[in-house]
C-alpha cells in the first residue's frame, strides 16, 4: 500500500475505502478545495462527491502507457 505522503495531486490511483474493505476502484487525488496537502480529497471517477484522504487505502498510481497512443483511424490501417 502507498503511504499518503507518497501520493501526488491530480493523479489517478487504484484505491478502496478502508472501512468497508470494498472493491478496488479508480480514484483521483483532487485539489478542488486547495492545493495544500491538507485540502486534498479523493474524487471517485464518475462522481462529484469528494471523500477524506484517510478514508481510503491506495494500492498503486495509474500512469499513461509508455508507447505512443494511436488514433482509431491509424489502428485500422
Segment 56-69 shows an average pLDDT of 85
**CA atoms of 57 and 14, how far apart (whole Å):** 9
Read off the pLDDT band of 6 (50, 70, 90): very high
pTM of full prediction above 0.75: yes
3-state secondary structure at position 27: strand
Segment 9-37 shows an average pLDDT of 94
Contacts of 46 (CB under 8 A, 6+ apart): none
How many CB atoms sit inside 10 A of residue 13's CB? 21
Read off the pLDDT band of 69 (50, 70, 90): low
Segment 9-26 shows an average pLDDT of 93
Output the average pLDDT for the chain. 90
Amino acid at each position: 500500500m502507498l503511504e499518503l505522503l507518497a501520493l501526488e495531486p491530480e493523479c489517478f490511483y487504484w484505491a478502496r475505502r478502508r472501512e468497508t474493505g470494498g472493491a478496488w476502484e479508480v480514484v483521483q487525488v483532487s485539489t478542488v478545495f486547495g492545493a495544500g496537502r491538507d485540502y486534498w480529497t479523493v474524487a471517485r471517477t464518475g462522481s462529484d462527491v469528494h471523500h477524506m484522504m484517510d478514508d481510503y487505502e491506495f494500492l498503486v498510481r495509474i500512469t499513461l502507457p509508455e508507447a505512443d497512443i494511436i488514433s482509431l483511424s491509424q489502428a485500422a490501417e
